[in-house]
Structure 1
Amino acid sequence: MDQTNHTLTIERIQKSTFVWFEENWIHDNELHNHRKGQLIYVEQGFQYLTVAGKMYLLPQNHVAWIPSGALHKTNSHSERIKLMVLFFDTPQFDSAQDQLFFSQVQLFSAPKVLREMILYCEKWSKLIEEDEHEKVFLGALLHELPYFAAQLLQLGITLPQENRLQAVLNHLHDHYTAAFTLDEIAMLSNLSLRTIERLFKKETGMTLAKYQQLLRIIKSLELLSTKQFTISQIAYKVGYKSVQAFTNSFYAVMKYRPSSFMMD
């Protein structure tokens, strides 16, 4: 995400805002950072972000704010990915609350008005020269961003640093559709049940069961974004035994139902 062409990099752009639209994004999957903050909007497909040791999924019609200077990388397994990325100089904050918002990674569903504003910015894509209309419009968008984030998503998975948990993580990621027992997990890691639970909660901030639930919802969002499967098919593909159980779990994480995502 560093280059607009072979010779121009984001860091060499002097203007305070910069718009970059890409029909079929090519990812370098390398950790990097920018002096500008960036707002990423996924118009089509889904995008994985890794920021400061945490992995996030950014579904279609959602946005992510990445603060300036944050070490991050992007990748996607979508066959097609359409992204709009808006870069901003560090904004002047009106309040401590706004300062906190822009200093952290933020993910949320883009309301229709925000989507339309972002898509309108395509007219300035890769424009190097200063444009007063662009500056004013993007400034207004940035100013309103905290107010658009009515429902922030918790779609981040902390990547544990504890080596003894690696076997547990690998098992959960490879077998997220299957029920697991704590005895089974203990055998994989050669740790006691109590130690596993304590370390896992300390490193990831969640229980094993909650981690598996989040994995299932993230995988379901990938499938939903393809528009190739029904909700019922997706429910069973990600390990739920009923559509109702899947819908309830999805709502608990996303705060809306999977049918709403498909209508987006």
Structure 2
Amino acid sequence: MTKHIPNASMLAPSDVAFMLDPSQPVLSHGRSMQAEASIEPHAHPRGQLLWAQQGVLRVSGEKAVWVVPSTHALWIPSNISHQVSSETNTQIRNIYIDPSYIVRENEKSIVMVTMSALMKEIILRLTDDNHRLSDVRRKRIGLVAIDELEVLEATNLYIHSGQDPRLQRLVSYIVQNPQQTLSLASLSTLAGASVRTIERLFKAETGMTFRQWRSRFKLMNALVQLTQGQSSTAVAHELGYKSVSDFINAFKTQFGCTPQEYANRH
């Protein structure tokens, strides 16, 4: 049953994520999170499909950050450390799969997937109607969820956060303050390193320059705004692009389609 979470800045993960029971292949949990709330960093033995029915999530793993609109979800394999934060008021719907069931066997780390209409309905049935389901029916629906999860399309929508503590401090600040416009010099001071050191760390640990990394992060945020119905013009101006055409060209280079094509698809 969905659990409402009152005002809080740091929440505990769901208990069901830690329950091992092969007779219950899929357990579910839903809750509401207010904007800027976070779930404490954690890992659990059950694999998790994390989906926001409404709102936008930010998820940090050991080496990457994901911005997750409601059109997508994250598959988090068992025992992978992660932290979940809500960018907006959010309705989270989770399913947790017992490790005795093999799911997406070739994926050993967190991956973003495109949600199908069927998977959305399955998750809503398991979370919102959980208390009305018999054990037998819950198990059957859970097995369908596992089968559908196998065929959800993976997408390469994430940004590297690196492993050096100074780089991670800088990345964490930007992720938590996506509208900030501080210079690299100011950000480097916050991170406790020189500009030259931060530039070197970005190149060595993310494979991108700081400018390239920040551009990709802006475009990740654009995905969220586009799926919420904002126009390319509005998003371009909000993200600080000099012109709409500059934004469209950058978006197409990064994601292989125009902003409008992406919005229509999702």
Which residue among 112, 119, 122 is the counterpart of 1:117? 122
d(CA) in 2 for partners of 1:75, 1:126: 27
RMSD, aligned CA:
3.8
Question: Aligned runs of 1:2-13 on 2, under 5 Å?
Answer: 9-10=15-16, 11-12=18-19
8 Å Cα contact 2:25-2:101 kept in structure 1: no
Distance 2:175 2:130 in 1: 41
Distance 2:159 2:121 in 1: 26
Q: 2:162, 2:168 within 8 Å by CA — same for their partners in 1?
A: no
Query: Is 1:67 matched up with 2:77?
Result: yes
Sort the Cα spacing of 1:169 and 1:185 in 2 relative to 1 into closer, same or farther, 3 A.
Answer: farther
Change (3 A) 1:145 1:235: same
- Equivalent AA in structure 2 for residue 157 of structure 1: H
Q: Give the AA of the match of 2:204.
A: K
Task: Report deviation, 1:54.
Answer: 2.8
Q: 1:242 to 1:158 in 2, by over 3 A?
A: same
Per the alignment, residue 94 of structure 2 pairs with 85
Task: Give deviations 1:208-251, integer Å, cap 9, x for gaps.
Answer: 23201112113323434554x43211111112122232223223
Aligned to 2:33: 25
Q: TM-score, normalised by structure 1?
A: 0.74
Aligned counterpart in structure 2 of residue 153 of structure 1, from 149, 153, 156: 156
TM-score (norm 2): 0.74
1:39 aligns with 2:49: yes
Cα distance change of structure 1 residues 44 and 207 upon mapping to structure 2, 3 Å threshold: same
Q: What secondary structure, in the 3-state scheme, does the structure 2 residue paired with 1:41 have?
A: strand
Give how far 1:36 is off. Answer: 0.7
| 1:238 paired to 2:239 | yes
Gaps in structure 2 of 5+ consecutive residues: 6-11
Gaps of 5+ in 1: none
Q: Secondary structure at the match of 1:240?
A: coil
Deviations 1:137-161 (A, max 9, x none): 3223223423221x41322331441
Pick closer, same or farther for the CA change 1:207–1:12 going to 2, 3 Å.
same
Please identify which structure carries the higher strand content: 2
Q: For the residues of structure 1 that align with 2:61 and 2:157, how far apart are their CA atoms?
A: 14
| Aligned counterpart, 1:100 | 106
Alpha-carbon distance in 2 for matches of 1:254, 1:91: 36
CA shift in 2, pair 1:74/1:175, >3 Å: closer
Indicate conservation of the 8 Å contact 1:55/1:159, yes or no.
no
Contact 1:124 1:134 in 2 (8 A): no
Q: Is the 8 A contact 1:45 1:225 kept in 2?
A: no
Paired positions, count? 248
- Contact preservation (8 Å) 2:65, 2:161: yes
Residues 69, 224 of structure 2: 8 Å contact kept: yes
- In structure 2, the partner of 1:139 is 143
Tell me which amino acid in the other structure corresponds to 1:125: N
